[in-house]
Every structure is written in C-alpha cells, then in structure tokens.
Structure 1
C-alpha cells in the first residue's frame, strides 16, 4: 500500500512524498508522490489522558477504557496511556488488573498513575482526600501486575526518592508533577531517575527568579521530557512556544490530559469522585474552580502548537516521536521510519484528520 502527500519525518518534510506499508509495518519512505496539500504525520502518542468521548479510565472499567481509546484513535492517537487519578489503593489495584488485558492486546500502552503521591498544596483537580506519601509497599503489589508504565510523584514527599529508584529499577517511568518542590528537590528526583515532567507549569510551584522551583529545573534538565498541554487554556501560546524553544522538540511532549468530556457537550462530569463542570470546552472543579484536565484531542494539540509558532516537523516530533521515546517505545512507534509499526494520520491542509492508520489498517 502506498500513501502519498507531504510526509513529515523527524528530519524534515518530504514535500511530495510517499509512505509504503506492507502488513503492519512501514517499508519505505521517500520522494515522488503526488498527495497535493495533504499531510502525512506519524500516529500520535499520548502519554497522559484520563478519558474521552464520554468515557473515563479513572474508574477502572475496561469497557469504558476501550471506548475512550477508540475515541482518541479517531483523532489520530494510535498509542496512549490510561491515566488514573489519585485514588484509594484498592481502586488502583483493581483498575490495573482490569486494564492489563487491554495492555496485552495493544489497546493501551500501559497505565499511568497520576497520584496519589502528590502535593496537597499543588493538588489541582486531584482529590485531596486520597493524597498520601509514596509507598514502597503499595507499589510492591502494583508493579507485578505488569501494566504500570508511568507514575507521577511529588519529590518533596517523604520516601519519594526511594520510590523513584524502585520504579526505575522495574523499568517504569518516574514523572515529577503536582509538586511544591524546590529547584534542588526537583533535581534530586531527576538524579534518582525521574525522566518526565508532568504537565509542566500546571500543578507546580510557580517559578521565581530567586527560587526557580520545579519548572526551571525540569525545563533545564537534559534527560527530562516535559509534558505540555497545548489547548490554549493550560498554557498561553507564548508559554508553550517558550517552553518548546527551551527544551527543543526532543524534550517536549504534547499531551491532552483529557477527561471524559473531550468530544462531548458542555455540562457536568465526574473526575476522581469530584464534580466537574465543562463550559466553552474548559473543565473546572465545582468546589474551587481548578482546571480539571482538558477536553483536548491530540490533533487539536498539534494545531495549537503550530499556531503558537512551532514548525510542523517539531510539532509532529512533540506529538509522536518524543513521547514514544519517553515510554521506551521508539523502536516500535513514533515516526514514519521503515521497520516501525505503520501508524499514521492523514491531515488536510488545515491539519484536520482525514484518515487514521494503525498497524497498517485504516480505521
């Protein structure tokens, strides 16, 4: 099968190019196509999403998880993590067990625990009733379930560094987020093995020129991938462009942080046992007005990044290549490269989704 258009590769755009697909894999990429104004980009990799299309990952319901993954697939996300929110241990355990078959099947790339080992003062839309110190004992029971791919931790909490080292020793990505850590506390977590910054700027002590805090530490750490929510709500476009410039596309990952309301009408929703109201695409907790995830999809995140001044090549790396590498999946997905899985999205001239291919099959 041959797909023609303006092919976006990690090194540039092949203006009139093609992608050859055989079975589930890309076999060739080159010049000589005739796809007009259509763009061909790698399938998006979303390492942080709580749901979409009216369905959530946060309750541990595998049927809902399938529907949420299918919703995001229609918007070009061919690889994604199911992100839980801060919860009682029993829900974390049961959800991980329920999602393990979906991970084995390839519907999900794994489970992300966004909490409960987070800061009270920077909890954002996390339920403060469930926050607690990092627990080696809890993780000793959860990690053998096999589906856990990433855990977000506030490094200032007691036991955080020990837990980060434990996660890394098990091949699980340790992320830093929802934190009131100082600059030095953040760098200590990076030294312990943390490699991702969870929605940088959001849910963090704000930077100050005399105490730069976690934001500057994460943006400046050469081995840390910084998640950025490109919805025009979580980050001003100027902030998004600045962060992408500081990190470069190899250390910035576009994420949705989407909740069940993505793709749905305004109204009342639930997140982690708390009521959320969505109005004009912005989700906020009713209890204090905190931003509660997003209604974003990855194709919209790509458009927002390009609108903010990021090149289409860099935006595609931030939406696919870099997050795939952050999860250790760069040898399987994340770019239009011969030998990798044939995950791609055909976009029109305005960067809206026309067609989605996953593992060589059109959606």
Structure 2
C-alpha cells in the first residue's frame, strides 16, 4: 500500500488528508480531522495561503499534442511517438492522444498502422488527426499544400485499419462534404472536432448538429468574433460542444481563458497543450508538417509568415496557468483530467476517487510538479 498526503483535489472539493494506492487503483481517500475549505489558489501564486501541503490532482489527459522532448507524433514514427509520450508523462500527462497535422493520405494511413500497437499497449490513448480537411483561410501553421475537402473513403479507411485507434478528427464544417464526414465520424464512435475554420455561426451550429462535439483550440485558427457575425467561437460556446483551451498565456490571454472556461463551464472546457517536438528543448529551428518553425522565448512560429505553430507547453504548466487565471482547483482538475477522460469514454480514470485507476500528479504548494504516478507506478 502506498500513501500520499496533502490537499487532494476530488470532484466534490479539496480534501486535506491522505490517499492510499493498492496495486493499480486508488484504494481510499481519508480526510484529516481538521480540513480547511479553500479550493481556490489566488493569482499571486501564494498557493494555499499559509498551507505548504502538496496539492494532489488526477493525472492529466491531453487530447491535442503533436510531440515533445525533441520527439514528434507528426511523422508516424512509433519510436518518436514513444519518446514524446514518455516526455509528457514526466510532466504529468498519464493519458494522451497523438495528434498529427495535415498530411497526404499515405502518411495518415501509415501512421495509423504504426501507432495502433502503441494504443493496444496503452502508451497512447489514440490518434487525433488535426486535418487535412481544414480551411485554407484559417490554416494557421497547417501546411496549405495538404489541405483538401473531406474524402469519405479516406476517413472510412483510417477508421477501419485503426481498429479503434483513431479517436478524434478535426474538420472545418463549411467545406464541401464536411457535414457528411462529421456524421460518419460520429457514427463510427470517433470524436468529430470543429477547427481551423472560417465557418459562419450558422455553419458552426450545423456542424454540431451533424455530430461535432469538440472545438479544436477555441479562438485559434478560427474567424474572429464580430457582433454582427458571431462566427465559430460564439457558435461553439453557445452549443453543446466541449472547447479546447491552450493555457500557455500565448495562444490565449489569461483573461480570455478564464472567460471561455467560465462561459462553457468545467464540464465543457478542456486544457490542451498543442505541444510540438520543441517542447522542453532549446530555442532554435524545428519542423512541423513539412514547414520550418522557429522557436524563440518559448514561442513557436512558422519561419515563413510568422503564424504561431503549436506550443512548447506541458500540462503541468497549463494547470498552473489556469489556476493563476483565477480558476478553482476543482475546475482546473476537471478541465485537465475528468472532462477529456469522459470525452474519450475512459470511465476508469480522470478523477481521484476510490476504485479508479491510480493516475496521480503531486504538486507542491505553488503547483510545481513533484511526482507522477500512472496506474500505481
């Protein structure tokens, strides 16, 4: 039996006490006799006030990550994928999707076959194709050479050969054939996401009605909000879709992060990294989807055009930034663990409760990473 003590962030609140692990699961959570009730860390990083106890949260679940630690998911190389997953595990991500960027169908197919064994092993929770069925107007750092309207035969094939490994695909709903593609994904049990889109408010709602349930990095790669044409941002926030938020204080101002999370609520908001291979690496020159990227002072941008090209964020920093933006610990934990786990249909993880898998992140009082436990290890 392993015991961890501190401020335990559960779905029902923050408990001062200890958590017991037996094998791969959480055996018990026992509160101390006297437990303070503050579950919000103020933005000045004094953490729990005068309390220096560790903060214990569920293992992070990242639905949108392209790589890290010098390793990428975008080339379909299984050893690189292992390296990227291991790097993010060391930062608290105990469950993750491998996100690819827009690419030729041959790469989509080969990557699906290459990553399927890693999904079977549990190294990855699945594959996320961010494209290539995206808007050229809002392509951001997606390679425009590979963008195209949805091809149902391509989507059908990768789902079939993936045998459950393909878990998510981002589509711009205004493209020809997009609504049919979204419905196909929904019917196959694959999460359909709206992103890199120039859709109107009405087109966005049509995408959600067709089966889209996630907004890929809300605000980024989308038509900006306008009071006479709300566009996809307001369309998604006003729908039942769950919204991804990149909490690196670069893609989103902390105030906008707090606003979006407050508007959608923690049950419809998720923190993601959108990290690339440069995460955890020195500034310099990198590559993403066949395009040169320059990283300077944590910010990744295309060498040509200057568009932001993913991030250098890890989930432990995203969690800390979300709390610094004013979100309660319970909300940040839901957004980084419970809500994305529920989207993936993983009922055995995503929260700290007896009987669930022991995926646990231990943070110090200032929310700096101290320890990561995955399935009790």
Same fold (TM over 0.5): yes
| Matching of residues 47-58 of structure 1 within 5 Å | 47-58=63-74
CA distance in 2: counterparts of 1:287 and 1:30, whole angstroms? 55
Equivalent residue number for residue 271 of structure 2:
254
CA contact (8 A) 2:173 2:203 kept: yes
Alignment of 1:233 onto 2:250: yes
SS of 2:206's partner is helix
Equivalent residue number for residue 149 of structure 1:
167
Q: CA deviation at 1:311?
A: 1.1
Range with greater deviation from structure 2 (31-40 or 290-299): 31-40
Query: Which digits, 9 at most, give the CA deviation of each residue in 1:58-101, with x for residues without a partner?
Result: 00000000000000000000000000000000000001100000
Equivalent residue number for residue 121 of structure 2:
105
Range with greater deviation from structure 2 (90-99 or 308-317): 308-317
Pick one of 158, 165, 180 that aligns with 2:183.
165
Equivalent residue number for residue 282 of structure 2:
265
Q: CA deviation at 1:183?
A: 0.4
CA contact (8 A) 2:21 2:376 kept: yes
CA distance in 2: counterparts of 1:11 and 1:189, whole angstroms? 34
SS of 2:133's partner is coil
CA contact (8 A) 1:6 1:36 kept: no
CA distance in 2: counterparts of 1:121 and 1:177, whole angstroms? 12
| Structure 1 gap ranges (5+) | none
Q: CA deviation at 1:26?
A: 1.2
Runs of 4+ in 1 over 3 A off after TM superposition: 33-36
Q: With structure 1 as the length reference, what TM-score do the two structures score?
A: 0.97
Pick one of 48, 73, 83 that aligns with 1:67.
83
Q: CA deviation at 1:30?
A: 2.5
Alignment of 1:291 onto 2:308: yes
CA distance in 2: counterparts of 1:142 and 1:113, whole angstroms? 10
Equivalent residue number for residue 44 of structure 2:
none
| Matching of residues 178-197 of structure 1 within 5 Å | 178-197=196-215
Equivalent residue number for residue 2 of structure 1:
3
CA distance in 2: counterparts of 1:47 and 1:103, whole angstroms? 14
Q: CA deviation at 1:36?
A: 5.2
Pick one of 238, 249, 257 that aligns with 1:220.
238
Q: With structure 2 as the length reference, what TM-score do the two structures score?
A: 0.93
SS of 1:216's partner is helix
Alignment of 1:242 onto 2:259: yes
CA distance in 1: counterparts of 2:12 and 2:220, whole angstroms? 30
Equivalent residue number for residue 11 of structure 1:
12
The count of aligned residue pairs is 358
Alignment of 1:87 onto 2:127: no
Range with greater deviation from structure 2 (70-79 or 26-35): 26-35
Equivalent residue number for residue 25 of structure 1:
25
CA distance in 1: counterparts of 2:151 and 2:357, whole angstroms? 37
Query: Which digits, 9 at most, give the CA deviation of each residue in 1:96-120, with x for residues without a partner?
Result: 1000000000000000000000000
Quote the RMSD (CA, aligned, Å): 1.2
CA distance in 1: counterparts of 2:61 and 2:77, whole angstroms? 22
Range with greater deviation from structure 2 (256-265 or 134-143): 134-143
Alignment of 1:326 onto 2:343: yes
CA contact (8 A) 1:49 1:255 kept: yes
CA contact (8 A) 1:82 1:108 kept: yes
CA distance in 1: counterparts of 2:147 and 2:10, whole angstroms? 42
CA distance in 1: counterparts of 2:156 and 2:227, whole angstroms? 40
